Amino acid sequence: MSGALVKTSDESSVTWLQATPPGAFCALFVLAHPDDEAFCLPLITAELRGGRTVHVVYLTDGGPRAAIREAESLRVLGRIGVSPERVRFAGREQGWPDGGLFRHVDAAKAWLARELTAMGPCARIYVTAYEGGHHDHDCSYGIVCALLRDGLLAETTCLQFPLYTGRGLSGALFRCMSPIPENGAHLVYPLGAREALSAWSTTTAYPSQWKTWIALGPASAWAFLARRSIVLQHVDPARVTQAPHQGVPYYERRFKIPLQTVLEAVKPRS
Ligand SMILES: [Zn+2]
């Protein structure tokens, strides 16, 4: 049973959940990698139940196992009712590699702007959070920020959902689905018990990524099964002029991608 969005932060600070503009019948999920949808499947289901046409785009190519990863994501999305023709693997189509989105931010932004025009008015865009976890996630967020700065999403509510972050931790330690305070006020999307279990069970639906999910599966159990919610925060274009948080981002510790490289990729163009 899906819950409605519930305000849990200071209500006066949550002014950004806009009413759905008339005629906006789409919801768009901007993801970096095939399997990122595992962190937001109940939101996709909620949009479908709300009568929206759900589009999902992946901005990187999924790496050497791209075809297998795409098939896994299409299977997961298909099970909840997303039509395969509304899923675009832009990263593979355009040659934007897994781990290398920071080199293609401008091209990806231009591609997404064209897609949005073809799609029609979007009620909501959901994007991977700016949290210093994976650099492709932060760059995806930066791309949505660039569209906002260009005024292309004036009537669209843009929301970020957390995947993983190493804020306040060291080495390979991370937190899963945990919003960082630097991203501001938050909303909670509560999950019913069966819905939460179903969402968490999906973490086993990516056998090609077992090395990743052997860590993320247990790490996401608390959010899905104990907290039973997905937390959302506003997309604020000003955020990409700053580091996601103090300290060394997880992507720098784990993947050796410097913070400055990502900041340079997502910073506003003059
Ligand atoms: Zn990812």
pLDDT digits (tens, 9 = 90+) for 70-99: 999 999 999 999 999 999 999 999 999 999
Q: What is the DSSP letter of 179?
A: -
Residue 171 lies in a domain: yes
Residue 1 lies in a domain: no
Residue 77 lies in a domain: yes
The alpha carbon of 267 and the centre of ligand 1 are apart by a number of angstroms equal to: 21
- 195-245 per-position pLDDT tens digit: 999 999 998 999 999 988 888 989 999 999 999 999 999 999 999 999 999
- pLDDT exceeds 70 at position 13: no
The sign of the dihedral angle between the CA atoms of 172, 177, 178, 183 is positive
Q: Are 129 and 179 in contact (CB under 8 A)?
A: yes
Rg (CA), the chain: 17
Residue 92 lies in a domain: yes
For residue 2, how many other CB atoms are within 10 A of its CB?
Answer: 14
Quote the tokens at residue 189: 């999307």
What's the number of domains the chain is made of?
1
- pLDDT exceeds 50 at position 8: yes
- What are the DSSP E strand ranges found in 48-116? 53-58, 87-89
pLDDT, average across residues 154-173: 95
Quote the tokens at residue 101: 């989105």
pLDDT-based confidence at residue 14 (cuts at 50, 70, 90): very low
Residue 257 lies in a domain: yes
For residue 13, how many other CB atoms are within 10 A of its CB?
Answer: 12
The alpha carbon of 140 and the centre of ligand 1 are apart by a number of angstroms equal to: 10
The alpha carbon of 22 and the centre of ligand 1 are apart by a number of angstroms equal to: 32
- pLDDT exceeds 70 at position 10: no
Residue 36 lies in a domain: yes
Helical (H) or strand (E) element with 125: strand 122-128
The alpha carbon of 217 and the centre of ligand 1 are apart by a number of angstroms equal to: 13
Residue 134 lies in a domain: yes
CATH number at residue 55: 3.40.50.10320
Q: How far apart are CA 216 and CA 57, in angstroms?
A: 22
Name the residue type at position 192: G
Q: pLDDT > 70: what percent of the chain?
A: 93
pLDDT-based confidence at residue 11 (cuts at 50, 70, 90): very low
Range of the structural domain that residue 250 is part of: 6-266
pLDDT, average across residues 172-179: 95
The percent helix, strand, coil of the chain (3-state, each to 5) is: 50, 15, 35
Q: How far apart are CA 18 and CA 41, in angstroms?
A: 22
Tell how strand 157-161 and strand 164-165 pair up.
unpaired
Q: How far apart are CA 180 and CA 187, in angstroms?
A: 13
Helical (H) or strand (E) element with 186: strand 186-190
Tell how strand 164-165 and strand 175-176 pair up.
antiparallel
- 15-52 per-position pLDDT tens digit: 445 567 777 889 999 999 999 999 999 999 999 988 89
pTM of the model: 0.94
The alpha carbon of 31 and the centre of ligand 1 are apart by a number of angstroms equal to: 7
The alpha carbon of 15 and the centre of ligand 1 are apart by a number of angstroms equal to: 29
Q: Are 216 and 164 in contact (CB under 8 A)?
A: yes
Residue 246 lies in a domain: yes
The alpha carbon of 154 and the centre of ligand 1 are apart by a number of angstroms equal to: 27
